[in-house]
Amino acid sequence: MPASIEDVAQRANVSISTVSRVLNRRNIVNDKTRKRVELAIQELNYRPNVFARGLMLQQSNILGLVLPDLHGEFYSEIIRGANLKAHELGYQLMVSSAGGNNDGNSVLSAVSNHGLVDGIVVMVSDIDSKTKKTLDKVMIPFVVLDGQVEGMKHDSVVIDQRHGTEAMVRHLIQDCGAKRIVFVGGLKTNIDTIDRLEAYKDVMQRASLPVSHDDVYHLDFSYEKAFLLATNLVEDWAATEAFVFAANDEMAAGIIDAAIEKGIAVPDQLRVVGFDDTRIAQMTRPRLTTVHVPMSSMGALAVEVLCQRLKDPQRPPTKLTLQSDLVVRESCGTTHAESV
């Protein structure tokens, strides 16, 4: 049984009020008394009980982070960034996946743990996800990652997909001389895919390049699916000097490997670019030209915004936009970097 504040008080021969005071550096405590108390705390290896504290203070210093999935480099980075920042600000992070069999229930469960977490960071990548509805019931502050919930006031941290996507497509057209660009996206309902696809179409049209319906594919962001798809098409793509714009690095890697397997050299015979700038982009030869999405910053920033809201519940909702930037590497054939 761990020591309580009472034990410390007894040992230091003071009242628990005094102990509490030195603990919270509040009011004035006589220097000698303080030393005595501090000694007692050390000797007993005393730590305030979180529950008692939480009960009084109505806060836990725990933040929730709910992601669609915990799999893969992308989420890994967000967690990392969020975790670091949370610790920096004196919070603990509780990570959950909304996906899997729980389907948004864990949001609810994390939240309905009623006061366990002081606030949450949620990522809702699927547009018709139940999570959004669940969010309605959330009574504590939350910030939405990479999305916006209609008709609700809340903070959010989003990625400007547009900027990076446009820079990429422009680069492909202007610097690399692309005439045809195949777009390999994620699921049709995926919010990122939608944004990126739109930006891609815009730039294509502005450049008076045709956007063929047949040149837009919807996969599931996986290497495997992309590899399979590319296996069939890569020769045609190479023959027509098409460029391939994959909506994440993993798929780009799959496409490149499919090309190599078919004896098609990247970037000499086929140019492939990715999105996200995960570690995979550098774990591929040629290294991927891709769009850098500051994932760990996004996680960190979300935590920061959340903490600010916690401090000042009245402040107007913020929407922070992070820039996505073109990163030119080798897989597109030019190393001639565009300044972004």
Partner DNA sequence: TTATGCAGTGAAAGCGCTGTCATATTCGAT
Partner DNA sequence: ATCGAATATGACAGCGCTTTCACTGCATAA
Which CB, 15 or 189, lies closer to DNA?
A: 15
39 contacts which partner out of DNA, its own copies, none, CB within 5 to 8 A by kind?
Answer: none
Identify which range of 46-54, 145-153, 155-163, 164-172 contacts its own copies by CB under 8 A.
Answer: 46-54
224 contacts which partner out of DNA, its own copies, none, CB within 5 to 8 A by kind?
Answer: its own copies
Interface with its own copies (CB under 8 A), residue from 62, 204, 238, 242:
62
- Burial of residue 232 (CB within 10 Å: 0-12, 13-18, 19+) is exposed
Task: Check if the beta carbon of residue 223 is closer than 8 Å to that of residue 247.
Answer: no
Task: Check if the beta carbon of residue 77 is closer than 8 Å to that of residue 278.
Answer: yes
Subset of residues 121 to 140 that bind its own copies, contact rule: CB under 8 A: 137, 139
Interface with its own copies (CB under 8 A), residue from 13, 27, 30, 102:
102
d(CA 104, CA 107): 5
Q: Phi/psi zone of residue 114: left (φ > 0), alpha (ψ -120 to 50 degrees), beta?
A: left
Task: Check if the beta carbon of residue 276 is closer than 8 Å to that of residue 251.
Answer: no
Cβ count near 317 (within 10 Å): 12
Interface with its own copies (CB under 8 A), residue from 6, 13, 52, 174:
52
Task: Check if the beta carbon of residue 252 is closer than 8 Å to that of residue 282.
Answer: no
Which CB, 20 or 76, lies closer to DNA?
A: 20
- Burial of residue 53 (CB within 10 Å: 0-12, 13-18, 19+) is middle
Least gap, CB of 145 to its own copies (angstroms): 17
Interface with its own copies (CB under 8 A), residue from 7, 166, 195, 257:
257
Closest CA to 164 of 327, 337, 15: 327
- Burial of residue 124 (CB within 10 Å: 0-12, 13-18, 19+) is buried
Task: Check if the beta carbon of residue 326 is closer than 8 Å to that of residue 302.
Answer: no
Binding mask 1-20 for DNA (x = CB under 7 A): x--xxx------xxxxxxxx
Interface with its own copies (CB under 8 A), residue from 73, 126, 146, 276:
73
Q: Which phi and psi (to 5°) does residue 293 adopt? A: -110, 120
Subset of residues 17 to 76 that bind DNA, contact rule: CB under 7 A: 17-21, 23-24, 26-30, 32-33, 46-49, 52-53, 55-57
Residues interacting with its own copies, by CB under 8 A?
2, 45, 47-55, 60, 62, 70-73, 75-76, 79-80, 83-84, 87, 92-97, 100, 102, 106, 109-110, 112-116, 137, 139, 223-224, 227, 250, 253-254, 257-258, 260-261, 279-280, 282-285
Residues interacting with DNA, by CB under 7 A?
1, 4-6, 13-21, 23-24, 26-30, 32-33, 46-49, 52-53, 55-57
